């Protein structure tokens, strides 16, 4: 149940009844023969005049009605939606195409999941849309206001086994799910491409899908037509480049010496010839032809796995090999790509310059164990002594060249944070440099830990949007942009009830998505 303060359980579906539509206008006056008026008793006072439009529904309207809010949802139960409107004399209201009227209005409206009806204020020519939210949509709470993003794209999923997301969702600034689509297969998260399509990153080792809003159909799969036998599609990210090419990662089993990743297990001689889960970054053209690739194990040694992951990776190996790298995000840069590796506690920048000698080389490394390309981290208290990132995710490059990421703090006893670094690279490239922390934002009071996943996106206005991975919390947090004067005020929050969590939440900026397209898409899905 959506709500702002009180907790209510999800209603059980009830048998669908279709009563005859009814509408009551004004005060009912019964004129009955033989009515007797008691002598000496004064007439009851007239009801106070209606001075402003008020709308309520049963099941309850979300959010509470406001004349400035045009999109609403109600939870579907299989019963008619009972609508009550109080309309001033100068505001005739039409409910679900009924004739416009003023006074006290009531109507029963029949809709099924995903369908909408309209309440129209004829005086303002304002159309309020009320859409039927599925009864099994996860319960959530919304709070706050004053956010900078216009929409929020997320794909909550349950922590039951198997992992099975239910609904990809776009929320508006009021926390209203204005678009959703129930997934046919498990989806780890959804991303919005520059062409307006959505990318659905599958959770079941299948290729990512490109999904069009109008009409809501799968356009294509992101898959190479020359993928090697035994390759497994990775479920952590997908990227559309400006030239129309797609970038993704596939995993495969690679036999190699992995003993350097497990210094506490030198007696295990099988590690010298172990199966490692390797990652290959692939760029394909619009027809699925591979045009470029990069193999992690060719450039990163298993010994670069951070010691904090040793016991976990050794005792609970991945079905396809020791997960010593665990890649989780890719971002295009002017010179190549930015890659985040959870089990290395590090972010790598690699070059892409086909035909040149430095193609695919490591440009720099941020965090993790030291190597020739490592950056010295400055002004970040987390990097004092032996401290470091904790299973970071969502490494991104902003237009000014600064780097942001979601530092989970996993395994380190600290809250997740969004961090931003300014880089000063040595010359020539690949010989180190400095990464200076210039911004740090968190919501440690409400999210003290994040064991996996997550996203942190800095908005153009300075706020940060967090998808606190492994939790059900989505939060937009204010920031001064000054490391010495952090803000951290949560201006907007959506919280899914446990055990529903999310992997990543993306902001959609004002003007990037037309609300009318979302309505058309929902109507096309739910005729």
pLDDT digits (tens, 9 = 90+) for 443-499: 988 899 998 999 999 999 999 999 999 899 999 999 988 888 888 899 999 999 988
Q: Are residues 331 and 471 in the same domain?
A: yes
Q: What mean pLDDT is reported for the chain?
A: 90
- Tell me if 520 sits within 8 A of 526, measured CB to CB: no
Q: Are residues 11 and 131 in the same domain?
A: yes
- Cα 442 to Cα 86, 416, 487, 519, distances in angstroms: 44, 6, 9, 34
* CA pair distance 437, 48, nearest whole angstrom: 61
Task: Specify the range with the lowest mean pLDDT, choosing from 54-58, 140-144, 487-491.
Answer: 487-491
Task: Report the candidate in 139, 222, 149, 212 with the shortest Cα–Cα distance to residue 181.
Answer: 212
Q: Are residues 173 and 70 in the same domain?
A: no
Mean pLDDT, to the nearest integer, of 94-122? 97
Task: Report whether pLDDT(60) > 90.
Answer: yes
* CA pair distance 249, 279, nearest whole angstrom: 6
Q: DSSP E strands: which ranges in 31-102? A: 54-58, 71-75, 81-87, 93-95
Q: Are residues 368 and 399 in the same domain?
A: yes
pLDDT the model gives residue 14: 43
pLDDT digits (tens, 9 = 90+) for 219-258: 999 999 999 999 999 999 999 999 999 999 999 999 999 9
pLDDT the model gives residue 102: 96
Of 86, 102, 137, the domain-final residue: 137
Write out the two tokens for 277: 């889960």
- Cα angle value 187/469/335 (rounded, 5°): 80
Q: Are residues 96 and 198 in the same domain?
A: no
Name the residue with tokens 């709070």.
Answer: 143
Q: Are residues 124 and 183 in the same domain?
A: no
Q: Are residues 480 and 520 in the same domain?
A: yes
Q: Are residues 248 and 343 in the same domain?
A: yes
- Domain residues for the domain of 518 are 140-525
Q: Are residues 105 and 147 in the same domain?
A: no
* CA pair distance 198, 216, nearest whole angstrom: 10
Q: Are residues 93 and 182 in the same domain?
A: no
Q: How many residues does the chain have?
A: 527
Q: pTM of this prediction?
A: 0.90
* CA pair distance 125, 263, nearest whole angstrom: 71
* CA pair distance 386, 345, nearest whole angstrom: 12
The kind and range of the H/E element at 225 are: none
Of 137, 153, 175, the domain-final residue: 137
**How confident is residue 151, by pLDDT bands cut at 50, 70 and 90?**
very high
* CA pair distance 232, 217, nearest whole angstrom: 24
Are β-strands 126-133 and 71-75 bridged in parallel, bridged antiparallel, or unpaired? parallel
- Tell me if 339 sits within 8 A of 350, measured CB to CB: yes
- Tell me if 346 sits within 8 A of 389, measured CB to CB: yes
Overall number of domains in the chain: 2
Of 107, 137, 167, the domain-final residue: 137
CATH number at residue 511: 2.130.10.10
Task: Report the candidate in 215, 214, 216 with the shortest Cα–Cα distance to residue 200.
Answer: 216
pLDDT digits (tens, 9 = 90+) for 257-297: 999 999 999 999 999 999 999 999 999 999 999 999 999 99
pLDDT digits (tens, 9 = 90+) for 170-220: 999 999 999 999 987 788 999 999 999 999 999 888 999 999 998 778 899
Task: Report whether pLDDT(28) > 50.
Answer: no
Q: Are residues 15 and 95 in the same domain?
A: yes
pLDDT the model gives residue 1: 54
Chain centroid to CA 173: 14
Write out the two tokens for 310: 């040793």
Are β-strands 103-109 and 81-87 bridged in parallel, bridged antiparallel, or unpaired? antiparallel
Q: Are residues 118 and 147 in the same domain?
A: no
* CA pair distance 59, 79, nearest whole angstrom: 9
């Amino acid at each position: 149940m959506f709500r702002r303060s009180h907790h209510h359980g999800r209603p059980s579906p009830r048998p669908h009844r279709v009563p005859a539509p009814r509408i009551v206008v004004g005060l009912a006056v019964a004129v009955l023969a033989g009515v007797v008026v008691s002598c000496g008793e004064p007439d009851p006072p007239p009801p106070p005049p209606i001075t402003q439009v008020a709308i309520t529904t049963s099941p309850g309207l979300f959010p509470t009605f406001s004349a400035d809010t045009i999109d609403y949802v109600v939870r579907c139960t299989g019963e008619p939606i009972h609508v009550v409107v109080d309309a001033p004399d100068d505001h005739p209201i039409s409910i679900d195409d009924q004739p416009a009227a003023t006074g006290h209005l009531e109507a029963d409206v029949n809709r099924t999941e995903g369908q909408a009806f309209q309440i129209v204020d004829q005086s303002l020519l304002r159309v309020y849309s009320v859409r039927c939210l599925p009864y099994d949509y996860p319960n959530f709470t919304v709070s706050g206001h004053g956010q900078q993003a216009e929409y929020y794209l997320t794909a909550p999923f349950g922590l039951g086994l198997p992992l099975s997301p239910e609904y990809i969702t776009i929320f508006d600034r009021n926390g209203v799910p204005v678009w959703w689509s129930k997934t046919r297969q498990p989806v780890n998260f959804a991303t919005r491409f520059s062409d307006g399509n959505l990318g659905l990153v599958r959770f079941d080792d299948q290729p990512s899908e490109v999904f069009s809003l109008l009409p809501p159909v799968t356009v294509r799969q992101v898959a190479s037509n020359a993928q090697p036998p035994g390759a497994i599609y990775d479920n952590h990210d997908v990227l559309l480049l400006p030239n129309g090419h797609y970038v993704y990662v596939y995993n495969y089993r690679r036999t190699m010496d992995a003993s350097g990743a497990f210094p506490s297990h030198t007696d295990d001689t099988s590690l010298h010839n172990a199966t490692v889960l390797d990652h290959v970054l692939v760029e394909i053209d619009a027809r699925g032809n591979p045009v470029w690739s990069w193999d992690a194990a060719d450039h990163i040694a298993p010994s670069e796995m951070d010691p904090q992951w040793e016991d976990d990776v050794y005792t609970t190996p991945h079905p396809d090999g020791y997960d010593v790298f665990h890649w989780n995000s890719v971002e295009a840069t002017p010179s190549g790509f930015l890659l985040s590796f959870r089990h290395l506690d590090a972010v790598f920048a690699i070059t892409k310059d086909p035909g040149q000698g430095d193609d695919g080389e490591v440009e720099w490394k941020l965090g993790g164990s030291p190597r020739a390309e490592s950056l010295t981290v400055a002004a970040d208290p987390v990097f004092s002594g032996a401290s470091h990132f904790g299973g970071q995710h969502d490494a991104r490059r902003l237009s000014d060249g600064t780097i942001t990421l979601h530092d989970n703090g996993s395994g380190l006893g600290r809250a997740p944070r969004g961090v931003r670094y300014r880089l000063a690279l040595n010359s020539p490239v690949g010989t180190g440099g400095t990464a200076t922390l210039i911004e740090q934002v968190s919501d440690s009071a409400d999210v003290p830990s994040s064991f996996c996943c997550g996203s942190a996106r800095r908005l153009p206005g300075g706020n940060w949007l967090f998808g606190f991975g492994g939790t059900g919390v989505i939060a937009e947090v204010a920031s001064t942009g000054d490391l010495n004067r952090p803000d951290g005020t949560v201006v907007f929050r959506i919280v899914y009830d446990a055990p529903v969590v999310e992997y990543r939440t993306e902001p959609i900026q004002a003007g990037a998505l037309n609300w009318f397209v979302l309505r058309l898409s929902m109507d096309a899905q739910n005729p």
